[in-house]
Structure 1
Amino acid sequence: MSHVKGLMALINDSVDCDLNICDANISQVVQELSQKLEHTWFLDSGCSRHMIGLKSLLTDFVDKYGPIMVFGDNSEGAVMGIGTFECRVSKLKKVFYLKGIKNNIISISQLCDTGYKVVFDCNKGKVIGSKNKTVLTALRDNNMYIL
């Protein structure tokens, strides 16, 4: 259920012409995001890189082995490649593919390094792009910010 709320918050807060949503039919965008967000996406301030578990969702994919990523529970995963995650609402570059991870991660530090501003409050986290427009909104659920 939090996925649906997160999708609606994402759509409602993402009316930014820089992201090519102005000419898009909202229902098509929701459908596309629902298909692409097969796994959960988290905004994560403790993660150094964007990560995804489905290679098929990446464009401009390049095989790249290593480094080994260590997660909060001390489990490890090897990077198998790097690519770009695209949809009509957003584009994430330099996304690491780790085969089998169940949840996708958007790195706060990587967003900030590419010029985005990220603001959190007790209910949501917002990613703010050019012209001070909100491009992504993640709702807080069980102390995690989930798209």
Structure 2
Amino acid sequence: MTAAWGDSDLEEEKDQPSEEMAHLCIMAKTDEKVKLQEYEDEVPVRGNNTWYLDSGCSKHETGDKSIFLSLDAYYGGTMTFGDNMKGDIIAIKNVGMSISHAIDNVFLVEGLQQKLLNISQFCDKGNFVSFTSNKYKIIHNDTAGNIILEGNRKGNTYTMDFNEVPTVV
């Protein structure tokens, strides 16, 4: 705990009896498992399965806890959103319809309103990502060239609907 004492130099207070004013600053560290439990109670099920492919986000990330198949508490770290606001990383694990239709290593980020898929994270697994003017494909790195994800461009963004995830990502 840190405390600071201060005196006022205002002219009208010089004739007053001397008083001391305490300025108190308290800092606390939050246990991420506790924070995850609290977050579970606050986050509504949004029901929107639309994800956005994003080359600017740090990792696959969402604020929607309801789509995770399981979660592991994550200790430390924040994400900075496009409006420069920040959200704590609370947990990490898989999201999807089932284990065979899941995306691994997705962060649960407090306050994040969108679901973002990091293009680099797919490439780092050795997958091939292809974009055209109206659609995209993410192709598995196996010799068969199975399509992991594909979707369409809507406006200036490429989106994915979880109801259409064909295999493990």
Check whether TM > 0.5.
yes
Report the CA distance shift for 1:70/1:100 in structure 2 as closer, same or farther (over 3 A).
Answer: closer
Tell me how far apart the structure 1 counterparts of residues 101 and 132 of structure 2 sit (CA, whole Å).
Answer: 22
- 2:119 is aligned to 108
Higher RCO, Cα 8 Å, sep 6+: 1
Secondary structure of 2:120's partner? helix
- 1:49 is aligned to 59
- Structure 1: which 5+ residue stretches go unaligned? 1-34
Secondary structure of 2:92's partner? strand
TM-score (norm 1): 0.67
- Structure 2: which 5+ residue stretches go unaligned? 1-44, 161-169
TM-score (norm 2): 0.59
| 4+ aligned runs moved over 4 Å, structure 1 | none
Percent identity between matched residues is: 35
- 1:85 is aligned to 95
CA contact (8 A) 2:129 2:138 kept: yes
| Superposition CA RMSD, Å | 2.2
Matched, 1:38 2:57: no
Higher helix share: 1
Q: Deviations over 1:26-77 (max 9, x none)?
A: xxxxxxxxx9962530011111200122223213311114311112332221
May I ask how many residue pairs the two structures share in their alignment? 113
CA contact (8 A) 1:54 1:100 kept: no
CA contact (8 A) 1:69 1:79 kept: yes
Aligned residue among 117, 129, 138 for 2:151: 138
